[in-house]
Each structure stands twice: as C-alpha cells, then as structure tokens.
Amino acid sequence: MHRKTIAELSRELSAKKISSLELTQLFLERIKQHDQKLNSFITVTEDAALQTAKMADEKRKQGQAGPLTGIPFAHKDIFCTDGVKTSCGSKMLDNFLAPYDATVVRNLKAAGTVMLGKTNMDEFAMGSSNENSYYGPVRNPWNLEYVPGGSSGGSAAAVAACLVPGATGTDTGGSIRQPAALCNITGLKPTYGRISRYGMIAFASSLDQGGPFAKTVEDVAMLLTAMAGFDERDSTSINEPVPDYTTTLNNPIKGIRIGLPKEYFSNGLSNEVAKVIEAAIKEYEKLGAIVQEISLPNTSLSVPAYYVIAPAECSSNLARYDGVRYGYRCKNPADLQDLYKRTRSEGFGSEVKRRIMIGTYALSAGYYDAYYLKAQKARRLIRNDFVEAFKNVDVILSPTSPTPAFKLGEKVSDPVSMYLSDIYTIAVNLAGLPGISVPAGFVNGLPIGMQLIGNLFGEAKLLNIAHAYQTVTDWHQQIPEGF
C-alpha cells in the first residue's frame, strides 16, 4: 500500500478498500520505523493527523470527497502552518509557532490532504545537499552515505522512501528539481506567480516558487491543481485561471518540438549522466517528438547572476530576524546593538551568514550598480535566450543536475562546487519559467533526473510531455531497497 501513488491511493479510498485513518496510521508507522535513518522530518504532527484523517473519512461518507481527500501529505518546513512549529531549518526559528497557514497549506488542506508533519531542509532554503540544516543532514534513501539534494531534501527523501506519498517544496534555484532528481521522484517548479508565496518564508523573493513532489507526473498534476491560483495576499501572484492539469496529461505528443540546449550538454556534465539523458531523448523520438539542438548563449551568466541576486534579496529578507519580534533572541543583551549582533551571530548558520554578507555588500552604496544592477541586466539576457528558444520549440530538455548524488561531506568545504550542482536549474528561476524533473535512469545505483522546461504558464503542456515519458518508462516506479 505504501508504494502506491496518490492517484492509486485516491482510488483505494473511493473504493473503500482502506480508510484515510488506516492510511494515515500506516504512514505514521513508516515514519517511526524509518526516519531515524533518514532524518527527513523535523516535526511529526501525529495527533492532528489522526484527527484530520477521521474528518476526511467522515467527508467521504457524506459524499463530499475530492480526489485528494484523506491523502497523507507533508510540508517543507518553510511553509507556515497554524500553531505548528515552522523552523525553516534554522535555529533562528526553532521556537516559532506560525500564527497562520500559508496559502499553499490552506489550499491543500481545503482539498482534503492530511498533514503528517514538516520536512527537513537547508537553513532558509540555502543549499543543494541538505547539509545546512540546523536539525542535521538528511540522507538519501538510495544510499545513506549520500546527500538527497537540497534545499527541499527532507520532502524528496520522505517521498522517495514512501514515508509519505506527496510533499511540498520550494525552488529558488533548483531546490525542487535537484532533490527530485537525486532521489528518483518527480518534482515541479511552477511558473513564477502560479502558486502563492503568502506564508512561504522568503529567501529570494523574485525567484522563490513553491511546488509539489510526488512519485509520478500524474500525482504532481493533481497536487498543482489544488495548490495553484491567484491570491490577493501575494502581490506577485498572477490571476490566470487554473485548469484541471490532470485532464490534458494524455494529449498526443506526436510532432511536439523538443529543444536540447547545446550549452547544457558540454563540459561539466558527467558522461554517465549524458548517456542516461541520451536514452531518454530516444524515447521521445520513438513517441514522435521532433528533437533539435538549440542555443541558450548566455547560460554561463546564470550561476554568477544568481549568486548576486539571491544573496542580495536574502540579505534584505532576513533583516527581519533581529531578536525583537519573534524567533531566537540571545541571552542577556547588553544593549540594542548587542541584541542584534548576538541574536544574528548565534541564530544563523554559516551558509546563511555567507549569503547575507555577500548580499549586503552587493547592495551597498557604490557597489549596487557594479553588482546587483549588472546581475539584473544579465538576468534579462538569460530571459531573452528563452524567449528566442520558445519561438522554435515547445519544451526544452536537459539533465537536471550534472552529476548523481554526492557523498555527505564531499562538498561542504567548497561552496563554489556546491553552487554548480544547480547549473542547469538556476536559469529557469531567473527567467520565471516552469521546470520539472522526472526519473530517467541510474548510475551506480544512484538516480538520474531529466529536466523539462516549459514556457510561461505552460504547465499543462509540460506535464503532458513529462507524463508521456512515464507511460513508456518505469524509472519512476523504482523504490530504494529496504523501503
């Protein structure tokens, strides 16, 4: 039962083969049994989950159930959850009980999901390996010596290990797609503005976007349908109608044009990963897709532009953690300066401090034009590359990450090599586009993800094309041994 997809569980619930209460108990049991190894949850809300499950069963009895009613679910600990600890992976918010639900949490609650708890993550979503969490690293269920990717590594590992059938993540530069790839699950970063950021703790506001993780594209489509939509409380949320994304999954893809950016298949890409992606391309050709090489000439600017813009925005967003309003406060401050200084020195981890320092520098008077403004100009060039590319193709295909998962500790002392894990995902955030990672094969027992990038608000087509691949392959059905 625990290996089933959300769509399958939903059918089991409708057919009364299992109740939501039983399903919830089963997954809570799995968390107890396996999460000591993985460390994928920061908080488990057992009592509330059992309560919600009973209510879901009641709703079903009354004939009021939707497709997600009674489905166990988890939220990345970056989403505010009313009355439940929302730590963002940081000591700074270790004592923070959110006073309200994020819109995404509210939407998924309204759709009937049963929250089992909050998942581990890199502190303030900064990282690619989940080693920056105050709560310790998450381990990859495919090999416990390896990282699950980050920053949404807890959600990805929990879904991959079947501790929960679906979870939320956030993606500022790759944090949904990269851990999905490294853990062999499906993860979608929607178009910027498709999903409300209200109640989603801010890292870099012009890049952050929430999205779903699950085993299959079909499940992700179900989740997106429930999560997406306009929210007047998020000024960057866009008022576009939300279709039922599950209804177009099986549209024919014959004749669809797939672009392969030549810059994404050059140096830095591991040969083994390249082979896996080449095999995936062949599958698409068999399905009748027209594959052509394209160019995104400003690709080399994306990592440098991101590592100015993201830290700049984070330095501003994280100014609010001052020990005055909420969160951590240092003991016995001598005066206000001392309160700020010690609260922030003691409350933040080293990667967060590194970003705040870079960002503050880049925004300071005299340097703003040279760094932040310049990076924004580079961002426009990157965006224009995609505008050009989408004149000729429907979707862009690439590896999600240049290598499979790496060993815990391997890159912690080398931030630049860590930053390069996101070399194929970052441009998508800079351009505001939707991107998805789907399982595409294995190298030495470690999963490899394929990324598909769509045009703005092209989620329906993107999911359709990604789903077609899952109808002819079974990589997404592989479950790590022991789980």
Q: Which residues are catalytic?
A: 76, 151, 175
Which one of residues 24, 86, 172, 455 is an interface residue with ligand GLN (CB under 6 A)?
172
- Which three-class secondary structure state does DSSP give residue 462? helix
Q: Is 195 in the site for ligand GLN (CB under 6 A)?
A: no
Q: Please report how close the Cβ of residue 452 comes to ligand GLN at its closest, in angstroms.
A: 18
Indicate the pairing of strand 435-443 with strand 186-189: antiparallel
- Which three-class secondary structure state does DSSP give residue 12? helix
Binding mask 408-427 for ligand GLN (x = CB under 6 A): --------------x-----
For 322-389, the DSSP string reads: SSSSSS---SS-SSHHHHHHHHHHHHS-HHHHHHHHHHHHHHSTTTTIIIIIHHHHHHHHHHHHHHHH
Q: Which stretch binds ligand GLN (CB under 6 A): 94-102, 133-141, 167-175, 275-283?
A: 167-175
Q: Please report how close the Cβ of residue 415 comes to ligand GLN at its closest, in angstroms.
A: 9
Q: Nearer Cβ to ligand GLN, position 68 or 310?
A: 310
Residue indicated by tokens 């609650």 = 109
* Total site size for ligand GLN, rule CB under 6 A: 13
Q: What b/e sequence results for 264-289 when a residue is b if at least 16 CB atoms lie within 10 Å of its CB, and e otherwise?
A: bbeeebeebbeebbeebbeebeebeb
Residues 6-25 that bind ligand GLN (CB under 6 A): none
Query: Residues 213, 159: contact at Cβ < 8 Å?
Result: yes
Q: Which stretch binds ligand GLN (CB under 6 A): 5-13, 166-174, 364-372, 377-385?
A: 166-174
Q: Is 459 in the site for ligand GLN (CB under 6 A)?
A: no
Q: Is 435 in the site for ligand GLN (CB under 6 A)?
A: no
Phi/psi at 386 (5° precision): -70, -40
From residue 55, how far is each of 70, 178, 313, 368 by CA, in Å? 8, 35, 41, 53
- State the number of CA atoms in the 13 A half-sphere of 309 facing the CB: 26
Residue indicated by tokens 């298949």 = 265
Q: Please report how close the Cβ of residue 62 comes to ligand GLN at its closest, in angstroms.
A: 40
Q: Which stretch binds ligand GLN (CB under 6 A): 24-32, 55-63, 171-179, 451-459?
A: 171-179
Q: Nearer Cβ to ligand GLN, position 113 or 175?
A: 175
DSSP structural state of residue 213: E
- State the number of CA atoms in the 13 A half-sphere of 413 facing the CB: 2
Binding mask 72-111 for ligand GLN (x = CB under 6 A): ----------------------------------------
Tell me the three-class secondary structure of 385-396, residue by residue: HHHHHCCCCCEE
Which one of residues 165, 174, 229, 458 is an interface residue with ligand GLN (CB under 6 A)?
174
Q: What b/e sequence results for 93-123 when a residue is b if at least 16 CB atoms lie within 10 Å of its CB, and e otherwise?
A: bbebebeebbbbbbbbbebbbbbbbbbbbbb
Q: Which stretch binds ligand GLN (CB under 6 A): 23-31, 170-178, 248-256, 287-295?
A: 170-178
Binding mask 303-322 for ligand GLN (x = CB under 6 A): -------x------------
Phi/psi at 118 (5° precision): -120, 135
Q: Is 182 in the site for ligand GLN (CB under 6 A)?
A: no
Q: Please report how close the Cβ of residue 203 comes to ligand GLN at its closest, in angstroms.
A: 6
Q: Is 187 in the site for ligand GLN (CB under 6 A)?
A: no
Phi/psi at 109 (5° precision): -65, -45
Binding mask 212-231 for ligand GLN (x = CB under 6 A): --------------------
Q: Please report how close the Cβ of residue 187 comes to ligand GLN at its closest, in angstroms.
A: 11
Q: Nearer Cβ to ligand GLN, position 111 or 428?
A: 428
Q: Please report how close the Cβ of residue 287 comes to ligand GLN at its closest, in angstroms.
A: 30
Residue indicated by tokens 């990672």 = 437
Residues 113-142 that bind ligand GLN (CB under 6 A): 125-128
Q: Is 171 in the site for ligand GLN (CB under 6 A)?
A: yes
Q: Nearer Cβ to ligand GLN, position 250 or 417?
A: 417
* Radius of gyration for the chain, computed over Cα atoms and rounded to the nearest angstrom: 21
Q: Nearer Cβ to ligand GLN, position 28 or 362?
A: 362
Say which residues have a Cβ less than 8 Å from residue 33's Cβ, sequence separation at least 6.
none
- CA 123, 127, 131, 132 dihedral sign is negative
Residues 355-414 that bind ligand GLN (CB under 6 A): none
Q: Please report how close the Cβ of residue 117 comes to ligand GLN at its closest, in angstroms.
A: 20
Query: Residues 161, 483: contact at Cβ < 8 Å?
Result: yes
Binding residues for ligand GLN, per CB under 6 A?
Answer: 125-128, 151, 171-175, 203, 310, 422
